Amino acid sequence: MNTFIAIAYIVSAVFFIYGLKMLSKASTAAKGNMVSAVGMGIAVVATLLIQGLEFQWILVGVVIGSVIGAIAAVRVPMTSMPEFVALFNGSGGLASLLVGWSEYHTNFGGYDASAESTLVPLISIFLAILIGGVTFTGSMIAYAKLAERMNSRAIVFSGQQFVNAAILAALLGLGIVFCLWPDSQLAYGAFLAAVVISLGFGVLSTIPIGGADMPVVISLLNSYSGLAACAAGFILGNTVLIVSGSLVGASGIILTQIMCKAMNRSLGNVLFSGFGAASAGGGDEEEGDVKSLSAEDAYFVLEAASSVVFVPGYGMAVAQAQHAVRELGKLLEENGAEVKYAVHPVAGRMPGHMNVLLAEANVPYEQLVEMDDINPIIETVDVCIVIGANDVVNPAARENEKSPIYGMPVINVDLARSAFVLKRSMASGFAGIQNPLFYKENTRMIFGDAKATITALVDQFKGKN
């Protein structure tokens, strides 16, 4: 039986790795997700075959989790997916914390500090409750900010970095005490203190991160949840949990680095700079007249355009306009225009947010272009249609050295021959920064709900035929 379980775990690990590889391409991502799910199913069945497990409680957990997952999959809208992912990350962290807590209580008083064999499980237990606690409360704060249940701006206070450093030092000290005297009441006190402090540290390490940096935080917390699961795998001696946790942890770190590079900022700057704590501005107030346009007038410009680039942002998600955008894109193609969709790496509020929405609307993957590919040719584009994006198209990142986002790579929409910006109002974006794009000579603002505006344009094209 043990040999069978070991082989099943190896097969599961292969499925995980192969599925993760398939996720790197849009054309195979759906199959990759299924392959990974099959791998997880094999791992779960193999684990249930281990003798000594109490199946009745496992079945209760499976039923409850399945019901919650099914309801969430049906009822949670795409606009709420970023905060839903944050809840997933937090749940993973909490599960790892509880595994570590349970294992320590089961073996409390049974650890021999002089035995080298106990060092690995002790370190694993401490890392599981530390990383799991930080992940859980950090993810809850991320959820609250993304769901706008709390102020999305960075919350900073005097001496904040010193406090965080002191907390890390305290956790390190508690870890040493816990590992040196595992069978003592002192270690038990250190363990409980570490649980409480790690939960508090998750809050303190997340509140100074502004809403504009939430995509990076989501990917980082996802990495944390993987590392916590990996530590839980060492606690339980479960190979497949170690492998899957390592894959999640490594992929999350890589994605975090990619997104930081896309913003031309270091991870330390994202975590500790308090970006977005100040009120909107980032330089001098913009002056000039905003030139608005109706959907009917915008139609005549689009009807004559030979190239159109859509630049989606969170506003498209809020309006659920992706299907209408796809329909307009098809009509523009039928009218002879070349259509592309330029996606900034940090557009939206979670990694790949816009890609997911466009894929849901069956936008051909070949029409999606990255920022580095569209910027060199954007001066030849007849019309750029910005749908709810703000900070990722802000020319202040190139032009205004006083701006907090100066140096961040953006999609240079202002250099196109003309730009239509679809927004409900002149309010600033999630970063709370003024956008000079709105005042450019070649920019026309189209105010209102994005889906209603796009639908009106679609009706104009259909009415022509």
Task: Give tens-digit pLDDT for 211-226.
Answer: 667 778 888 899 999 9
Query: pTM for the whole thing?
Result: 0.79
Residue with tokens 């509020």: 349
Share of the chain above pLDDT 70, in %: 91
Band (pLDDT 50/70/90 cuts) for residue 69 is confident
Residue with tokens 């990255």: 370
- For residue 61, the model assigns a pLDDT of 85
- For residue 46, the model assigns a pLDDT of 86
Asked whether the predicted pLDDT for residue 429 surpasses 70, the reply is no
Least confident of 132-136, 155-159, 337-341, 456-460: 155-159
- What's the 3-state SS for the chain? CHHHHHHHHHHHHHHHHHHHHHCCCHHHHHHHHHHHHHHHHHHHHHHHCCCCCCHHHHHHHHHHHHHHHHHHHHHCCHHHHHHHHHHHHHHHHHHHHHHHHHHHHHHCCCCCCCCHHHHHHHHHHHHHHHHHHHHHHHHHHHHHHHCCCCCCCCCCCCCHHHHHHHHHHHHHHHHHHHHHCCCCHHHHHHHHHHHHHHHHHHHHHHCCCCHHHHHHHHHHHHHHHHHHHHHHHHHHCCHHHHHHHHHHHHHHHHHHHHHHHHCCCCHHHHHHCCCCCCCCECCCCCCCCCCECCHHHHHHHHHHCCEEEEEECHHHHHHCCHHHHHHHHHHHHHCCCEEEEEECCCCCCCCCHHHHHHHHCCCCHHHEEEHHHHHHHHHHCCEEEEECCCHHHCCHHHHCCCCCCCCCCCCCHHHCCCEEEEECCCCCCCCCECCHHHHCCCEEEEECCHHHHHHHHHHHHHHHC
Tell me the two tokens of residue 344: 């900034």
Asked whether the predicted pLDDT for residue 256 surpasses 70, the reply is yes
- For residue 95, the model assigns a pLDDT of 93
- What CATH number belongs to 295-464? 3.40.50.1220
- For residue 52, the model assigns a pLDDT of 60
Cβ-contact 295, 460 below 8 angstroms: yes
Q: Which residue has the higher pLDDT, 9 or 263?
A: 9
The residues assigned a catalytic role are 391
Range with top average pLDDT, 91-95, 287-291, 343-347, 460-464: 91-95
Tell me the two tokens of residue 354: 């816009």
Asked whether the predicted pLDDT for residue 233 surpasses 80, the reply is yes
- For residue 172, the model assigns a pLDDT of 94
- For residue 422, the model assigns a pLDDT of 93
The whole-angstrom separation of Cα 378 and Cα 416 is 5
Domain boundaries, the chain: 76-272, 295-464
The whole-angstrom separation of Cα 92 and Cα 454 is 39
Task: Give tens-digit pLDDT for 258-306.
Answer: 888 777 777 776 766 555 554 444 444 555 678 888 888 999 999 999 9
Q: Which residue has the higher pLDDT, 343 or 425?
A: 343
- For residue 282, the model assigns a pLDDT of 46
Q: Phi-psi category of 403—alpha, beta or left, where left has phi over 0 and alpha has psi -120 to 50?
A: beta
Mean pLDDT (whole number) for 46-62: 76
Mean pLDDT (whole number) for 57-62: 82
Mean pLDDT (whole number) for 15-29: 84
Asked whether the predicted pLDDT for residue 201 surpasses 90, the reply is yes
- For residue 311, the model assigns a pLDDT of 95
- For residue 281, the model assigns a pLDDT of 45
Q: Which residue has the higher pLDDT, 16 or 50?
A: 16
- For residue 147, the model assigns a pLDDT of 81
Asked whether the predicted pLDDT for residue 35 surpasses 90, the reply is yes
Asked whether the predicted pLDDT for residue 452 surpasses 90, the reply is yes
- For residue 279, the model assigns a pLDDT of 45
Asked whether the predicted pLDDT for residue 110 surpasses 70, the reply is no
Tell me the two tokens of residue 457: 């344009």
Q: Which residue has the higher pLDDT, 381 or 157?
A: 381
Least confident of 50-54, 109-113, 348-352: 109-113
- For residue 283, the model assigns a pLDDT of 45
